[in-house]
């Protein structure tokens, strides 16, 4: 019977994810651990961390994009400066909030700092039409400096 219940829950994961999540929550609340689809539950828990990492990577890349636009895209600055500044503030706040909830991700953000910067360089070059050579190859700031409210490159 237990094997049948686990198999049913496992099938539910493949056929109706939302219902699987609800059923899993009910089983956890009822402390019916022997009925849980542990294989998929473990996978989902680990995926939560990966999602946080991807979110931080996206936020940092977007932050760098807007910092680079402010510094180098002079032909659009008059029209977009306030928007870009707002976006810089927004991304900084979001990154800080994510790090408050998950401080252990700070090291991860430092690991991907250079990669996010390089991605942002390419993206801003593409959208602005400016040569990639205009943007410095190495970031000229640390993660801490980049996240300071008043810092601009």
Q: What is the pTM of this model?
A: 0.84
Q: What is the mean pLDDT of each run of 10 residues along the chain (153 residues)?
A: 54 90 94 92 94 97 97 95 97 97 96 96 98 90 91 82
CB-based burial label for 55 (10 Å; 0-12, 13-18, 19+)? middle
138 — alpha (psi -120 to 50), left (phi > 0) or beta?
A: beta
Enumerate residues 6+ apart whose C-beta is below 8 A from 145.
151
Please tell me the predicted confidence (pLDDT) of residue 7.
55
pLDDT recorded at residue 147? 95
31 exposure class (CB count in 10 Å sphere: 0-12, 13-18, 19+): exposed
CB 119 within 8 A of CB 57: no
Residue 140 DSSP symbol: S
């Amino acid at each position: 019977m237990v094997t049948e219940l686990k198999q049913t829950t496992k099938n539910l994961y493949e056929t109706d994810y939302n219902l699987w999540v609800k059923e899993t929550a009910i089983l956890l609340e009822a402390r019916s651990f022997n009925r849980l689809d542990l294989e998929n539950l473990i996978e989902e828990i680990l995926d939560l961390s990966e999602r946080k990492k991807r979110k931080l990577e996206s936020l940092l890349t977007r932050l760098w994009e807007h910092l680079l636009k402010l510094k180098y895209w002079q032909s659009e600055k008059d029209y977009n400066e306030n928007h870009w500044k707002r976006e810089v503030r927004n991304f900084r706040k979001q990154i800080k909030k994510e790090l408050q909830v998950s401080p252990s991700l700070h090291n991860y953000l430092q690991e991907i700092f250079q990669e996010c910067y390089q991605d942002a360089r390419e993206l801003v070059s593409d959208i602005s039409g400016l040569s990639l050579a205009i943007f410095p190859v190495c970031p000229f700031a640390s993660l801490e400096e980049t996240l300071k409210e008043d810092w601009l490159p």
